[in-house]
Amino acid sequence: MFNPDFVLLYVNSPEASAVFYQKILGIAPVELSATFALFKSESGLKLGLWAKNTVEPAALACGGGAELAFALNDVAAVDDLYARWSVLTIIQKPVQMDFGYTFVATDPDQHRLRVYALNAG
């Protein structure tokens, strides 16, 4: 069975990015070095932060080409997280879209962080 459980983001500094992600996720990395950091969520999903200058084969693209998505239960939870994340770079303010209510922030390497609550139904 196909069951993805690991997301890798290529970053300038895993150590600096780990500080950022520790603040927004509220958990400490389970592994941290100059070239790699690893977070593990309660769901089991792992988030790796890999120094882009050490990726082999070399990465042709980095931040901005994909999104790390955070599902929340309702609009109020999205608005609450938006208020807490307002110190981040916000590239899309909260808006109702065809799939649900959402906003998008970016991390220091321009990786998109989409927060959303699906439409009921």
Give the pTM. Answer: 0.90
* pLDDT of 9 above 90: yes
Dihedral (Cα; 78, 109, 2, 40), 10-degree rounding:
-70
What's the pLDDT score for residue 7?
A: 94
The class level of CATH for 1-62 reads alpha beta
* Residue range 75-108, pLDDT digits in tens: 999 999 999 999 999 999 999 999 999 999 999 9
Every domain range in the chain assigned CATH 3.10.180.10: 63-121
Residue 120: DSSP 8-state: P
What's the pLDDT score for residue 121?
A: 66
Every domain range in the chain assigned CATH 3.30.720.120: 1-62
Q: Which fold has domain 63-121?
A: 2,3-Dihydroxybiphenyl 1,2-Dioxygenase; domain 1 (3.10.180)
* pLDDT of 59 above 90: no
What's the pLDDT score for residue 108?
A: 94
Q: What is the mean pLDDT of residues 35-60?
A: 94
* pLDDT of 4 above 90: no
DSSP assignment string, 23-46: HHHSS--SEE-SSEEEEE-TTS-E
Q: Which residue has the higher pLDDT, 43 or 50?
A: 50
